[in-house]
Amino acid sequence: MAPNVVAMPTGVLHENDEEICSSVIPKEISKPEERKLELVWRNIIIFVFLHLVALYAVVLIFTSAKLYTTIYAIILYQMGGFGITAGAHRLWSHRSYKAKWPLRLILTFCNTLAFENSVIEWSRDHRVHHKYSETDADPHNAKRGFFFSHMGWLLCKKHPEVKNKGKLLDMSDLYADPIIRFQHKYYMILMPLICFVLPIPLPMILWNETFMNSYCLNVFRYIITLHATWLVNSAAHMWGDRPYDKYINPSENKMVSIFALGEGWHNYHHTFPWDYKTAELGQYSTNFSTFVIDMFAKIGWAYDLKTVSMDMVKKRVQRTGDGTHSVWGWGDKD
Ligand code: ST9
Ligand code: ZN
Ligand code: ZN
């Protein structure tokens, strides 16, 4: 177990769990035929354009781009991804650990590099996703199909229930953090600066890359981070085992975990949302984010890491699991 890890005793959740991560029994709030689909053409055009640029970047990677530029793009994808997983998700949405200000600053920088909206906006959508999973109040309700939960939800107006229920959430803990309050306030300046203006010239200055290569590969890494994130909402809400809770859609999906830096163990995460690992086991090979958080815990910048006791996991597996848990499946009910 990493330093500073607090194992939550059986039955006791994080003090703010009721508000931050609890889920309600899923139910449809409105009938599918009553839903109005209002397309947002601005987003459709922008995303089509960005995807075409990202496709062209694939050609450039195999033809004219320097190897350093490709490595740089992979590093930026991981940095941005880390700002989402360890920042917006595990720290700010779920409060699954605490972070000193230098780490919060690094996470905010990485988060802005990922351009997935401000931490405050992201966390509000994510908290409402957990609390009202697979209902109309869930921004990316997986019951509306793969495409909608993957990226379709960003191409149309939100269901009114998302906003109604989202407004009821307590977001005061986020507004109390001056760093992310600053990010939220100046997002429309910080985001273009950190996500595009800063990363594009660096390869041109440092290893004489062309503007075209640098620009297209930067868009490419952005699109990869987006799809890795979106797969958690789509694939990991559809495909995989449900060893912890067979009554919910979120599933254990190894491929998604690899791309999403450890966030594909989604059946576990929806069952125990306050665990900083977002997975039962701390295996670093499929959970890069846990590795980095543990490294920061070693120097004291991450602390009060919350996790779940083995006893609590075992009881839950045997009560609601689908029997696929390799250790505590139905075969082992002692
Ligand atoms: C992106 C986000 O991609 C991805 C998030 C994914 C989450 C994944 C979670 C999985 C677990 C973690 C895994 C991490 C893995 C990472 C791996 C990395 C390698 N509650 O928004 P508007 C209010 S972003 C309460 O315009 P519309 C709002 O405040 C990509 N209120 O809604 C406003 O109020 P007011 C880049 C809410 O008009 C009003 O409603 N960004 C809530 O329906 C209108 O807000 C984009 O593409 C809420 N939840 O438009 C931009 N939500 O008027 C995308 C809203 O008072 N966004 N409100 O100010 C948009 O363009 C629009 O939001 C829209 C909806 C078109 C989608
Ligand atoms: Zn979550
Ligand atoms: Zn989910």
Helices (H), the chain: 17-20, 41-62, 67-82, 101-114, 119-131, 146-150, 160-166, 172-175, 178-185, 187-192, 201-207, 211-233, 254-259, 266-271, 288-298, 310-320
Determine the pLDDT at residue 286. 87
Q: Is 123 in the pocket of ligand 1 (CB under 6 A)?
A: no
User: What pLDDT is recorded for position 30?
Assistant: 61
Confidence of residue 8 (pLDDT cuts 50, 70, 90): very low
Query: Tell me, what's the ipTM?
Result: 0.98
Decide whether any atom of ligand 1 lies within 6 Å of the 117 Cβ.
Answer: yes
| pLDDT > 90 fraction of the chain, expressed in percent and rounded | 84
Residue 9's pLDDT is 35
User: Does the pTM exceed 0.80?
Assistant: yes
Predicted confidence band of residue 4 (pLDDT cuts 50, 70, 90): very low
Q: Which atom of ligand 1 is nearest to the CA of 115?
A: 36
DSSP annotation string for 183-224: HHHTHHHHHHIIIIITTTHHHHHHH---HHHHHHHHHHHHHH
Tell me what percent of the residues of the chain surpass a pLDDT of 70: 88
Arithmetic mean of pLDDT over the chain: 91
CB 97 within 8 A of CB 245: no
Which mutation among 40, 46, 154, 227 tests ligand 1's pocket best, with the greatest number of atoms within 8 A of CB? 154
How much distance in Å is there from the Cα of 158 to the middle of ligand 1? 8
> Residue 327 has what pLDDT?
81
Q: Is the CB of 124 under 6 A from ligand 1?
A: yes
pLDDT in tens, 193-208: 999 999 999 999 999 9
| pLDDT value at residue 18 | 41
Determine if ligand 1 sits within 6 Å of the CB of residue 264. no
Q: Which residue of 158, 171, 263 sits with most ligand 1 atoms within 8 Å of its CB, as the best mutation to test the pocket?
A: 158
d(CA 209, CA 206): 8
Ligand lying closest to the C-alpha of residue 237: 3
